[in-house]
Chains A and B, each alone.
Chain A
Amino acid sequence: VRKGVTDDLTPFLPLPPAPLHIVLALNRGERHGYALMADVEELSGGVIRMGPGTLYGSIKKLLAQGLIEESDTRPDPTLDDRRRRYYRLTGLGQRVCQAELDRLSTLLERSGSAASARLLGGRP
């Protein structure tokens, strides 16, 4: 976990596509590997279909950055394979997720107004 930079989120931004989608999926709640892959596919409208290698490569980085952590709780240990591990966002991860969403919103707004201005014949 990076020390002393938790107030300044800029070193974490922008998030690459795979970690961004994982963070967004975890923003919905705790997830294990397959559930994350399924959520990412659904969130991206089927555009991003992650395999286990990309997923756990991203998870490794997010763990190292302190944006996510392994969860101790298991929804139903009797039904779950013991190999499954659940992950959740840390407090830092939630703030980074929000900051990234804000950044993307701002980007959309600016590009949207620029496009509107062009369509109306003006110059952005």
Chain B
Amino acid sequence: MRPDHQVRRIPWAVLVFVAAACVPWLGSRFYTFLATDIAILALFAASLNLLLGYTGLVSFGHAAYFGIGAYTCAILMKTYGMSFALGLAAATMAAAACALVFGAFCVRSTKIYFSMLTLAFAQIVWAICFKWNSVTGGEQGLSNVPYPNLGWMSSLPMIGSLRAGDHYYLLVLVLVGVAFACLKRIVESPFGSILTAIRENPERAEFVGINVRRYQLASFVVAGAFAGWAGALFGIFNRGVFPDFAHWSKSAEVLIMAILGGIGHFWGPAVGAAILILLNQQINAYTQYWPLILGVILIVLVFVFPRGVFGAVHAGLQRLRNRRHA
């Protein structure tokens, strides 16, 4: 469970970022598509981990904020013709504002009640997206969300010759990178330490004078804001927003990503997102019963690898290191 604060000798994050930035030059539209998907959902999963791994709150409704972000940005850009920058900012604010309102109810309850409430509120958001035809497009959603104007990229050297999808991917990569940097700063800040203290022992945290609920709420809002950020990016990537974005199955999916990668590590959820998306891509080629496979994966995770991939690898490395020292 404990986030890993070891000194890293190799700047893995930078290496991965640079490698990811090279994807458009592989020349395949499909690789760019996959990489965009992974980058956005990695951020979504990491935002959930602020609650799950750092604050110790099991949210089963995180997709609500993803959906709010996606819808806000898409509606502003499509219906009102606003720029992408404004849309993204508004999406993040809207998601944070909703997280503040819903979170205020949710943090009053603990444990299982918290999970149920987050789920119930997410279903409200889903129901609104599903029913409010005049604004959200109802069941059909909003399609043909415009791409941000990235014409300026065409005039840049090297990048200019790439496709529009590649341009958007590079933009996503930069924006996701910025968000990850912010999240990393947050979890390593004194604020992040307080969240960890709350996770480890809420009563004790209360005794040393921490207002537990207020910090939990703050964590909920920050996580919601980053989910909204990811949602806004995803809506444009997907060229449309649909009520499914806020559905509880989406909330569960991102939870599974986080657990699969390992919630004890900052990068665990991102790795989980990558694995799950690649796996989904592979398995969909063979069968339409992806939920069945996902369910089986989940059972294996719960019973065999509760710490996720990162946890398992970490334990393996630790064992090797101990053997070397012995």
The answer to whether A binds B is no
B-binding residues in A (CB < 8 A): none
Residues in chain B within 8 A of chain A (CB atoms) = none
